[in-house]
């Protein structure tokens, strides 16, 4: 399984999440987006509404009547009611159940840098986990490790 670490440099998580979600949807894949912050979930929902070719990336918040049909499901839990094999952790708080997914997008900022470093170290000890670190340089995401 693969874990991609994205370190934000002042921009909101939505800045990278929309690009990740659009790419996955192009590949006919589903995504579970997780945050413990309800306000962040709301902001992400608004951002996904405004992105994509038709200015919308199809998504829903957990607890709706059609969770299982949502290509992108926003949630406070790591339970993929939409049967996603990809998970984006957008609040910087690593969750061990993410290891049950095929791919993890771990998005963090300066306030969660210590937690990200600990997650990087602990995942390095996990069998079968491939880690990648991305940072923003000159307006582009560049892989650093």
Q: What does the domain layout of the chain look like in residue ranges? A: 2-143
Cα–Cα dist 104/128, whole Å: 13
Per-residue pLDDT of the chain (145 residues; tens, 9 = 90+): 999 999 998 888 887 888 899 899 899 999 999 999 988 888 888 877 775 555 567 787 888 888 999 999 999 999 999 999 999 999 999 999 999 999 999 999 999 999 999 999 999 999 999 999 999 888 888 998 7
Supply the pLDDT for residue 98: 97
Domain 2-143 classification at class level = alpha beta
Supply the pLDDT for residue 45: 83
Work out the end-to-end distance of the chain between its first and last CA atoms, rounded to an integer number of angstroms.
16
pTM: 0.92
């Amino acid at each position: 399984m693969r874990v991609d670490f994205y370190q934000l440099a002042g921009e909101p998580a939505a800045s990278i999440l929309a690009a990740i979600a659009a790419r996955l949807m192009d590949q006919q894949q589903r995504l579970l987006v997780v945050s413990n912050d309800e306000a962040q979930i709301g902001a992400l929902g608004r951002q996904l509404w405004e992105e994509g070719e038709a200015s919308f990336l199809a998504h829903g918040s957990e607890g709706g009547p059609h969770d299982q049909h949502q290509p992108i499901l926003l949630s406070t839990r790591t339970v993929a009611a939409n049967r996603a094999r990809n998970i984006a952790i957008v609040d910087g708080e690593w969750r061990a159940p993410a290891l049950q997914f095929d791919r993890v997008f771990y998005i963090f900022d300066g306030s969660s840098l210590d937690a990200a470093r600990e997650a990087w170290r602990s995942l390095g000890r996990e069998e079968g986990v491939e880690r990648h670190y991305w940072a923003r340089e000159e307006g582009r995401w560049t892989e650093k490790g």
